[in-house]
Amino acid sequence: VNHYLERIESNAHLNAFVDVYSEEALRFAADVDIKIQNGTAGRLAGLVIGLKDVLAHKGHGVQAGSQILNTYHSPYTATAVQRLLDEDAIVIGRQNCDEFAMGSSNENSSFGPVLNAADNTKVPGGSSGGSAVAVQAGLCHASLGSDTGGSVRQPAAFCGVVGVKPSYGRVSRWGLLAYASSFDCIGPITKSIEDAALILEIMAGSDEFDSTVSAKDVPSYTENLGWNGKAKIGYILDTIENEAIAPEIREQTLEVLNRLRSQGHEVTPVEMPLLDYLLPTYYILTTAEASSNLSRFDGVRYGSRAAENGDLEALYKNTRTEGFGEEVRRRILLGTFVLSANYYDAYYTKAQRVRRLVREETERFFEKFDFLISPVTPTTAFTIGEKTEDPLQMYLADIFTVQANVVGNPAISIPNGLDKNGMPIGIQIMAPFFKEEKMLSFANHLS
């Protein structure tokens, strides 16, 4: 803990943490030490973790990177976090992120941007930017992030670390501040696949507080990391041939596919015609869900309240105008629009239908293949400020990651070399629903 506290301090310029629990973490570590001596320590004894600022942790602030929750302290702990604490993990602090997990560069945080440790002029990705940089820069062993449309995998790729998005319903969302409830997943960001497997197997499994969590048994991911046999791998032609993809990412993805082929795996290009509709579907449905989820922040129930609050409407309006940043307001407006009486069928209902079609197309794919391999992002980490003026450009960065959330499947991002400027490149493996075990062992084989 002392080592990490020093690292956090000497890397304060990265802005990865918004709160550090120095004394508490040291106290906790001393307790764990005693347990180790007594032989009663849990499976995560000594693991120092950070939490993305969207996870409830009793007695601690949680703000989702927003000013609207600046006075809020959580009265309870998220199930996923509690399960790690029960195994004696030590929480060292909470980590910077895009406001309400909306963003791909961590530039939408009210705490200011996070800097990529590989090059401080570049973004770390988002929305779990602080969590990825904390692992990249060695400020903690592992982080917990949340992934609604890539927010664990994309920053992991930009920072050269491992990020896992489990199947929807594998890990309880209880205590995760909601962005888009039917997409949100909690996932680990780690240095190794083994660490990710360990954290995931401890977090996963049914929870009486979240009815969307599956009661399916959780396999031992760590015991089954050895891969043997041949896999059937599909890749989408367009993810390789597309002009928008940086040449080095294309080459290094192809290199992996060729290597797998030469090892005797079956590697086949496929077409997925619905790919073009993924981003619109994702942004229509998530903004709709967000506009509903975020309506609870009204200046009455949680967090801060505007000083000027003449009548009820002014109270709502002023609190929300002052408390929410620009991107969150943009998405609430968009979501409210697509849910409004005149446009509901044209946008929301249609997007739900497309979601179903994409799910069916993905299911058909996995009837034939074990894994879908793709780049994680079309480019490596971009320069801070480069895309802030153009939200659509920013949304396009999510092209490869949103499919897993639209359909609910698990996906992992693992490091796949560097570009010529030394910026990390990632590669993504998507697996069938609830096949995390297979996905992790194959990722381990590949890495």
**289 in contact with ligand GLN (CB under 6 A):** no
48-52 sheet: strands from edge to edge:
17-20, 90-95, 48-52, 142-147, 185-190, 162-165, 411-418, 424-430, 371-375, 232-236, 266-270
Q: Tell me if residue 244 falls in helix, strand or coil.
A: coil
**151 in contact with ligand GLN (CB under 6 A):** yes
Site string for ligand GLN, 369-408 (x = CB under 6 A): -----------------------------x----------
- The answer to whether residues 249 and 380 touch, using CB atoms and an 8 Å cutoff, is yes
Q: Judged by CB under 6 A, which stretch of 112-120, 149-157, 254-262, 384-392 contacts ligand GLN?
A: 149-157
Binding-site size, ligand GLN (CB under 6 A): 14
What angle do the packed helices 326-339 and 278-293 form, to 10 degrees? 100
Q: Which amino acid is at 389?
A: E
CB of 401 to ligand GLN, least distance (A): 7
CB of 124 to ligand GLN, least distance (A): 13
Q: Helix/strand/coil (H, E, C) string of 41-85?
A: CCCCCCCEEEEECCECCCCCECCCCCCCCCCCECCCCCHHHHHHH
CB of 421 to ligand GLN, least distance (A): 23
Residue 304 annotated among the catalytic residues of the structure: no
Give the C-alpha separation, 259 to 94, whole Å. 39
**293 in contact with ligand GLN (CB under 6 A):** no
Residue 127 annotated among the catalytic residues of the structure: yes
- The answer to whether residues 94 and 18 touch, using CB atoms and an 8 Å cutoff, is yes
Q: With 0-12 CB in 10 A as exposed, 13-18 as middle and 19+ as buried, what is 87?
A: middle
Q: Which is nearer to ligand GLN, 124 or 299 (CB)?
A: 124
Quickly list DSSP for 282-339: HHHHHHHHHHHHGGG-SSSSSS---S--SSHHHHHHHHHHHHS-HHHHHHHHHHHHHH
CB of 391 to ligand GLN, least distance (A): 9
Selected from 93, 113, 129, 150, the binder of ligand GLN by CB under 6 A is 150
Q: Which residue is nearest to ligand GLN (CB)?
A: 151
Residue among 52, 122, 165, 387 flagged as catalytic: 52
CB of 99 to ligand GLN, least distance (A): 10
- The answer to whether residues 1 and 25 touch, using CB atoms and an 8 Å cutoff, is yes
Residue among 151, 291, 413, 441 flagged as catalytic: 151
First to last CA, the chain: 29
Q: Judged by CB under 6 A, which stretch of 148-156, 248-256, 350-358, 413-421 contacts ligand GLN?
A: 148-156
Q: Which is nearer to ligand GLN, 135 or 285 (CB)?
A: 285
Q: Which amino acid is at 60?
A: H
Give the C-alpha separation, 65 to 110, whole Å. 6
Q: Which is nearer to ligand GLN, 285 or 373 (CB)?
A: 285
Residue among 66, 110, 127, 441 flagged as catalytic: 127
CB of 318 to ligand GLN, least distance (A): 26
User: Could you tell me which of 406, 407, 378 has the C-alpha nearest to residue 393?
Assistant: 378
* Site for ligand GLN, residues 164 to 183, rule: CB under 6 A: 179
* Site for ligand GLN, residues 31 to 70, rule: CB under 6 A: none
* Site for ligand GLN, residues 179 to 218, rule: CB under 6 A: 179
Residue 181 annotated among the catalytic residues of the structure: no
Q: With 0-12 CB in 10 A as exposed, 13-18 as middle and 19+ as buried, what is 149?
A: buried
CB of 334 to ligand GLN, least distance (A): 11
Q: Would you say how long the chain is, in residues?
A: 447
* Site for ligand GLN, residues 109 to 128, rule: CB under 6 A: 127
CB of 375 to ligand GLN, least distance (A): 15
> What are the tokens at 232?
């059937």
* Site for ligand GLN, residues 84 to 113, rule: CB under 6 A: 101-104
Q: Which is nearer to ligand GLN, 107 or 398 (CB)?
A: 398
State the DSSP code for 233. E
Selected from 147, 195, 201, 437, the binder of ligand GLN by CB under 6 A is 147
Interface with ligand GLN by CB under 6 A: which residues?
101-104, 127, 146-151, 179, 286, 398
Catalytic residues: 52, 127, 151
